[in-house]
Amino acid sequence: MSGLADAFSDDEPAFIPYLAVGDPDIAASKQYVEALVEGGADCVELGLPFSEPIAEGPTIQQAVVRSLSGGITPEAYFEFVDDLDVDVPLVCMTYYNLVFRYGADSGTAAGEGDHTAPGPRPFVKRAAEVGIDGFVIPDLPAEEADELRAACDEFGLDLVFIVAPTTTDDRLATIRERVSGYVYVQARLGVTGAQADVSDQTAESLARIADWDVPKGVGFGISTVDHAARVVSAGADGIIVGSALVDIVADAVENDRTTADVADDLRAKARELKEGALRGARESPEAEGK
């Protein structure tokens, strides 16, 4: 069993928070991630900011801007992960160009052309070194993922794919063949972002992949205890929460709050959401049927 699946191993629903590393700076980021784990996170998605975050909504997009302005680079990101002292699996969430370009020694805008051909292997190798357990790459559909999949296999990392409400049956088969760690079930159409409600589409999506042997994490728009409970009771093995947490960081930046205060809030929010997930597990048809 891979590293990521560990997050789902205790029969409890997993709580998987997301933060952009370096938002608003490396030091604060570190405390925030630790607070989330203290609050009950079973796994953390650590965002490596890319300049063109096409799958993100405004909340995470702003986080990416803050982080990039703070000077985050892939190497700084890896060092951050290396330094991190938490005992849960870690997922690197980023866009493919950063994976593809890492370690290619030229052929950038500086103009010398490609001497070391770009490709995902150096990035995966380095990620494995620092303790990353898997990847979510939102702009890399399964069809384009062969090289990355191979590198992950080589270094024993998981590659999570997203399943959207629009994903066709044909494509589900393609994804199923390639996915590992968990499958990221997109709760609704659109981009990341906290929402007032969680879509009915979630249950349908979960039903379509019920027989897959990887855990199902549901994300996109989960922001409250109720959402968490409902999603888990609909059959999710875990919940993925990003924007609702990033909102707390954004608010802190705007209102100039201390890192410790923010960490407290994140820890509390994590507890709430984890609690919601647990409630959902108790209320699930499966649990009630027991």
Mind telling me the catalytic residues? 45, 56
Q: Are strands 216-219 and 44-47 parallel, antiparallel or unpaired?
A: unpaired
Distance (Å) of CA 121 to CA 25, 149, 183: 28, 10, 22
95 binds another protein (CB under 8 A): yes
Q: Segment contacting another protein (CB under 8 A): 68-76, 244-252, 254-262, 279-287?
A: 68-76
70 binds another protein (CB under 8 A): no
**CA nearest neighbour of 19 among 72, 52, 63, 65:** 63
CA separation for the pair 37, 15 (Å, rounded): 10
Axis-axis angle for helices 26-38, 259-283 (nearest 10) = 30
Q: Cβ 180 to another protein, closest distance in Å?
A: 16
173 binds another protein (CB under 8 A): no
As given in the structure block, the two tokens for residue 153 are 């296999």
Closer to another protein by Cβ: residue 54 or 207: 54
> What does the radius of gyration of the chain's CA atoms come to, in whole angstroms?
18
Among 27, 73, 260, 287, binds another protein (CB under 8 A): 73
190 binds another protein (CB under 8 A): yes
258 binds another protein (CB under 8 A): no
Closer to another protein by Cβ: residue 152 or 277: 152
Distance (Å) of CA 9 to CA 3, 42, 89, 231: 10, 10, 12, 19
CA separation for the pair 166, 159 (Å, rounded): 21
146 binds another protein (CB under 8 A): no
List interacting residues with another protein (CB under 8 A).
50-58, 61-62, 65, 68, 73-75, 95-98, 100-102, 104, 106-111, 113-114, 117-118, 138-141, 143-144, 161-168, 171, 175, 186, 189-191
